[in-house]
Amino acid sequence: MTQERSLEEQVWDQLRLCYDYEIPVNIVELGLIYEAIASDLADGGKEVLVRMTFTSPMCPMGDLIQKDVERRVATVPSVKKVRVEIAFEPPWDPSRMSEAAKLQLGML
C-alpha cells in the first residue's frame, strides 16, 4: 500500500516540472523558489503562495515562468487559488543552485 503524498510534496513536485526556458534545469534545482506555503480558504480549499525569483530582474521569460508555476500548482487536488510573489531579496546567485543543477550545467 503506497502512502499518499502530502499537499506540500505535491506542490513541490509540480514546481519541479517548471523550467527556466533559457536554462535546461527546473526552477527548484536552480534555487528560484524561496517558499511555497499552503493555507486554508473559507470554502475548504487551499491557497498556495509561491514566493520566487528569477536569475535576473530583467528575465525575458519571467512572465511565462510565472504562468507555468500558477498553472501547474493549480493542478494539485484541493488547491483552489495560487498566488505567485516575485521577490528579488535576497537576490539570486549561483550558490542557490543544487549540486545536481551545478553538475548538469557543468559548474562542478
**Rounded to the nearest 5 degrees, what angle is found at the Cα of 9, between the Cα atoms of 104 and 92?**
45
Kindly report which listed range (2-16, 24-38, 52-66, 80-94) carries the lowest average pLDDT score: 2-16
**CATH class assigned to 10-104:** alpha beta
CB 43 within 8 A of CB 80: yes
**Per-residue pLDDT at 1 exceeds 60:** no
Identify the pLDDT of residue 3: 58
CA atoms within 13 A on the CB side of 87: 14
Residues 30-53 have a mean pLDDT of 96
CB 96 within 8 A of CB 31: yes
CA 8, 10, 13, 19 dihedral sign is: negative
Domain residue limits, the chain: 10-104
